[in-house]
A and B are shown apart, each in its own frame.
Chain A
Amino acid sequence: MEPILTAVIPVVIIGIICAAVLVIASKLMAVKEDERFPVIRECLPGANCGACGFAGCDGYAKALCENSNTPTNLCVPGADAVSRQLSEILGVEFADVIEQVAVVHCNGDCSKTQDKVEYHGMESCAAAKLMYGGKGSCTYGCLGLGDCAAACPQDAICIENGIAHVDPRKCIGCGICTKTCPNKLISLVADVEKVVVTCSNKDKGALTRKVCSNGCIGCKKCERVCPMGAIKVTDNVAVIDYEKCTDCTDFGVCAKNCTTGCIVITELSGKHRIKQDN
């Protein structure tokens, strides 16, 4: 016999035997899948964003099937509609989803800060960050090369005047951008909030002042004026504790009193809320 045949035939035969055994085994020993699984999976948006904390939509659907304690309101992109469907299928009480919107904690656009070098490298924030912390004079701020915009599944982020802007009307709150930003500038904020800090510079006030006119200098004025005690300057940058920042008696006082204007009043109620109101 041809030597090639003596080599190929045994391997093919072994392969066929293995395949046959596997087919028989998988037929005989098939484990019954929970019949609710495909129904639940169908409800979920299928973005596989991981905002629920499980490995993709399949993971969340599986957890819902297997563990009755899994909350039905974890799907942020799907919002209340999905939560309602899920609670109907599983026969549990409807739980409101806290809709979230991504917020960029930097407002140092071209008019407020300057480039320290001319950057001609790869058009990616992660690459630019490796070169002495990016081209801007502030190494904490937005690099403006749009890694977040490229990662956004909804095209909700655009780069304007050198910094990223999130359009809350398009943002589904999946949080993918928060993981891509090399400076960790983007965070998810509940879409009912009205004030945000738009700076992340952790340098001392004088240094911050030098590089950006929008930067938080850590003067703690906001700490003093906040009637709810919700603002705290940590690492030379103001941080709002949104759990305390509710029913403010003197709304917007922090933004009005901010020395550099890095605390701003914004409208975050986006996609989800608009859909609900209609």
Chain B
Amino acid sequence: MIKLIIILLSAVFINNYVLSRFLGICPFLGVSKKLDSATGMSLAVIFVMLIATAVTWPIQMYLLNPNGLGYLQTIVFILVIAALVQLVEIVLKRYVPSLHKSLGVYLPLITTNCAVLGVTILNIDEGYTFVEAMVNSLGSGLGFFLAMVMFSGVRSTIEGSDIPKSFQGLPITLIAASITSLSFLGFGGVIENLFA
């Protein structure tokens, strides 16, 4: 149980996908302008990370590894995740239109996002069991959510402040992102010692 908590917390804080591993930067910079779109995007990411792990972990363990096809991991995962997200979109559109509307355009957008692929591949590389892999995916999704919400706050402050002309737009956004990611460095070593 403690191991699961450690996996969850370290996925959220220490190995934060956006701010420590630098995966999924595209949506991080692209959709973080407003709080509501940032939340929508992050919820879609959590959702897709969970279902992607739930499908790719068994594929790797029961289909690829026993047949010595482990090297097909990347291409098979991309294929499966892309098809899966399409399928989920169709199902949601039919049965849960309200959720489909709120996830909206973000669902197909993150189909081939590197953060999603990264989670599924790292789950295998770390040698997690199925439950651990699911917990890690949840933590990674929550970490993405945290980073997005925090950064949308930072960006709304930037928008209202007087920035030197040469820094306006993307430059100041990137600087702000790097300072935000610095703050996450402070978590290093904290979680392991929480339960020691």
Contacts and interface: CB of A to CB of B under 8 A. Distances in A.
Interface residues of B, number: 19
Contacts of A19: 83
B94 A11 contact: no
Identify which of A7, A14, A19, A21 gathers the most chain B CB atoms within 10 Å of its CB: A14
B72 A10 contact: yes
A26 interface: yes
Interface in B9-37: none
A18 B94 contact: no
B87 A25 contact: yes
Contacts of A29: 90-91, 93-95
A69 interface: no
Contacts of B1: none
B130 to A, nearest CB: 20
Interface residues of A, number: 15
Contacts of B75: 11
A31 interface: yes
Nearest to B63: A10
Contacts of B63: 10
Contacts of B83: 18-19, 21-22
A20 to B, nearest CB: 10
Given A6-B69, A7-B69, A11-B72, A22 B90 contact: yes
B51 to A, nearest CB: 14
Interface in B58-81: 63, 67, 69, 71-72, 75-76, 79-80
A15 interface: yes
A7 B97 CA distance: 39
20 contacts: A7-B69, A10-B63, A10-B69, A11-B75, A11-B76, A11-B79, A14-B76, A14-B79, A18-B80, A21-B83, A21-B87, A22-B86, A22-B87, A22-B90, A25-B91, A29-B90, A29-B91, A29-B95, A31-B93, A31-B97
Given A6-B69, A7-B69, A11-B72, A26 B79 contact: no
Interface string A176-211: 000000000000000000000000000000000000
Interface in A1-17: 6-7, 10-11, 14-15
Contacts of A25: 87, 90-91
A19 B76 CA distance: 14
Interface string B139-182: 00000000000000000000000000000000000000000000
Contacts of A18: 79-80, 82-83
B76 A26 contact: no
A83 to B, nearest CB: 28
Contacts of A11: 72, 75-76, 79
Nearest to B59: A14
A19 B72 CA distance: 19
Contacts of B79: 11, 14-15, 18
B157 to A, nearest CB: 25
A18 B78 CA distance: 12
B78 to A, nearest CB: 10
Contacts of B91: 25, 29
Interface in A24-44: 25-26, 29-31
A182 to B, nearest CB: 14
B138 to A, nearest CB: 25
A10 B64 CA distance: 9
Nearest to B83: A18
A14 B93 contact: no
Contacts of A21: 83, 87
The 9 nearest A-B residue pairs measured at CB = A18-B83, A29-B94, A25-B90, A29-B90, A31-B93, A26-B90, A25-B87, A22-B86, A31-B94
A15 B87 CA distance: 13
Nearest to A30: B94
Interface string A47-68: 0000000000000000000000
